[in-house]
Chain A
Amino acid sequence: MDELLQFVITGITVGTVYALIALGFVLVWKSSGVANLALGQLVLISSWFAYGMLVQLGLPAWFGLIIVIVLSLMLGWIIERFVLRPLIAQPILSLITVTLGLAFFLEGLVSFTWPKSVAALPHILPDQVIHIGTAVVSMEYLLAAAISLILFVLLSLYFKYNKMGIAMRATADDQLAVQACGIPVTKIFSRSWMFACVLAAIGGILMSSIGGITYGLVHTGLKAFSVVILGGLDSFLGAMVAGPIIGLAENVGGGYLTPLTWPGVKDVIPFIIIIIVMFIKPYGLFGEERIERI
């Protein structure tokens, strides 16, 4: 039973970070109806931004991270302005595939700018070891989960009380009505992309300061999709609940199934969950089932 507790704690903490990345997806989906498949690449590129600032330029952590956040805000603005805005009101197929093109481009940009494929970030969070019961957990994991939770709460408050946040929710509900009220919809789209990029950046930095920067970060982004699918595409709460579930399934399942099946089963479990959810409850735990009319 010793290992179970270990798996549970690691799973929940890692899953919370997945949930944070997934929130970025839900944000864009809710406000503009664009499915952002470049999520993994956004995580990857912002981790490399952090590497560039902290290691290559040698900036102090707090200052470097602020610059990374600013850079990812700019990245979000650029993506929305030059890639998504020309495609407003295009069919969903174009909106999905354009983010695939974006994913390709960002991946090329990463290997263009940072030719080495693996790098280590300095530990931003304290990494002393804590004993919880029989489990041994690094402080980093717990802090990463705490940061994700705090961001989730802040984001929820923003959407509940801030004027812009309310406008964003309204846009998700009915774009035409919002335009009639005089709210600039394009501004809301670009705001949501900027938020998504920042969330991907924070998630990426948290993941890569623990595990280093590898191409595997793209797969972290892909795992965030399973969080989104399980939680429901348009639900913040869903993402926050589904994140730890995916993390748990991945770690507990990986821990106990690896001897029974093949190594690496841990990385496939989130995708098997996607397929199962598709069969049983395609709109997720908290997702809104859309009823269509002709």
Chain B
Amino acid sequence: MDLPAGVRNFSYAKDMAIFRTKTHWAMLLLLFVVLFTLPLYLGNHWLNVANFVGITIIAVTGLNILTGYCGQLSIGHAGFIAVGAYTSAVLTNRFELPFLVGLICAGLLAGFVGMLFGIPSVRVKGFYLAISTIAAQIIIIWVINHWTNITGGFNGIAVPEPVIAGITFDTQGEFFYLIVAITILVIFFAKNLARTRPGRAFIAIRDNDLAAEVMGINLFRYKLLAFFIGCFLAGIAGSLMAHLMGFLSAENFHITDSILYIGMLIIGGMGTTVGPIFGVIFIKLLDKGISFLSPTLEGAFNLPAGFTTGIGPMVFGLVIILFLIIEPRGLAHRWQLFKASYRLWPFSY
């Protein structure tokens, strides 16, 4: 269903290519043109939203590799993002290292912390693992809040603007190019990871870890690898987030954020490359819509004072529940259905 009728391939490499027809390439080119000229049409506010969407896509792609492909539920993702954010902030602020070093170290440290808390996954799964990642989240945030001479504790920490090869990224527009470039790399990496040996091992572990082990997949190695990759991407996202915000405090990495990342993944569709993109854009736009509409509604209908703060979580919770009940495969599945029906149109028999 992925291709229009009549497309033939004469080599394995062509058969495996991501972009296979001229239409694919034209669409890709169009997407790139639109993406890279976006700062010309969008104001600062929407560029900021787009930047956060990009960062969140990186984080949720990491979660997707861990949860969607490898089946290891993590409710501590915001904690791992915090590790990345603070690593980068501390390295660039207190030790005045260049941004790129901070970015890579953020990813590596977050990956190693993730691996550490992922070790129990070798013996336990499902709920047990969920709880140990919640514990990870709470312990990480506690350490950040109290290790005052390194992280600044409750006072927060200032983060300098990133500089790469003499170019300072200090406006939303410049940040946008940095974030788009990294996001594209990450999505490309995730798409290809799913087709490599580790990616297939992850899927085997998700579907039945016992059977996977019997088939000769080293569970310990691949589960920890999934934790490392997932949390590495979380660390990269955290580092970008730190530099974009310019100021960090642990309040940005609450456990509800961790739950929301899982929500985004479910809404988008677990175990697909496009899932995180759909999910993040859906939730971010919903968030924007709610925070735009709710004060107006509150004024218009004389609603109680808690309406503005309460409606957001209520809607998010409801959306997560409804998606799980009605469309557990998420928006990505709907997108597949749409593509299939549009290819067959108008002869859909």
Q: Which residues of A contact B (CB under 8 A)?
A: 29, 35, 37, 83, 86-87, 90, 92-94, 96-98, 100-115, 222, 225-226, 228-229, 233, 261-265, 267-268, 271-272, 274-275, 278-279, 282-283, 292-294
Contacts and interface: CB of A to CB of B under 8 A. Distances in A.
Interface in B178-194: none
A97 B328 CA distance: 11
15 contacts: A35-B130, A101-B324, A102-B317, A105-B318, A105-B321, A107-B313, A108-B314, A112-B304, A113-B310, A115-B306, A115-B309, A262-B147, A267-B138, A268-B139, A282-B124
Given A100-B262, A101-B324, A113-B310, 20 more contacts: A83-B325, A90-B324, A93-B71, A93-B73, A96-B130, A98-B320, A98-B325, A101-B318, A101-B319, A102-B317, A104-B259, A104-B313, A108-B311, A108-B313, A113-B304, A265-B142, A271-B139, A274-B135, A282-B120, A294-B210
Nearest to A281: B123
Contact of B317 (A101, A261, A263, A283): A101
Interface string B127-155: 11011101110110010011100000000
A100 B263 contact: yes
A26 B315 CA distance: 29
Contacts of B310: 108-113, 115
Given A37-B130, A115-B309, A106 B71 contact: no
Contacts of A271: 134-135, 138-139
A108 B312 contact: yes
The B interface, classified by DSSP as helix, strand, loop or mixed, is helix
Contacts of A272: 135, 139
Interface residues of B, number: 55
B126 A100 contact: no
B309 A111 contact: yes
A111 B311 CA distance: 8
Return the 6 tightest CB-CB contacts between A and B, nearest first.
Answer: A112-B310, A105-B317, A108-B313, A101-B320, A108-B314, A104-B317
Contact of B259 (A92, A100, A275, A292): A100
Contacts of B117: 275
Contacts of B23: none
Contacts, number: 162
Nearest to B214: A294
B321 A278 contact: no
A101 B324 CA distance: 9
A233 B318 CA distance: 28
Contacts of B75: 37, 100
A225 B210 CA distance: 26
A274 B136 CA distance: 10
Contacts of B208: 294
Given A104-B263, A112-B306, A271-B138, A229 B128 contact: yes
B307 interface: yes
B317 A268 contact: no
A262 B325 CA distance: 44
B21 interface: no
B73 A97 contact: yes
Given A115-B305, A275-B139, A278-B124, A105 B130 contact: no
B309 A112 contact: yes
A97 B266 CA distance: 9
Contacts of A282: 120, 123-124, 128
B138 A268 contact: yes
Nearest to A94: B324
Given A97-B266, A268-B139, A87 B324 contact: yes
A264 B146 contact: yes
A125 B309 CA distance: 33
A110 B307 CA distance: 10
Contacts of A225: 131, 134
A100 B320 contact: yes
A275 B135 CA distance: 7
B49 interface: no
Interface string B224-267: 00000000000000000000000000000000100110110010
Interface in B193-220: 208, 210-211, 214
B304 A115 contact: yes
B314 A109 contact: yes
A35 B310 CA distance: 25
Contacts of B134: 37, 222, 225, 271
Nearest to B121: A278
B169 interface: no
Contact of A274 (B131, B146, B314, B315): B131
Contact of A106 (B260, B317, B325): B317
B316 interface: yes
A229 B262 CA distance: 22
A105 B260 CA distance: 12
Nearest to B125: A92
A222 B258 CA distance: 15
B127 A96 contact: yes
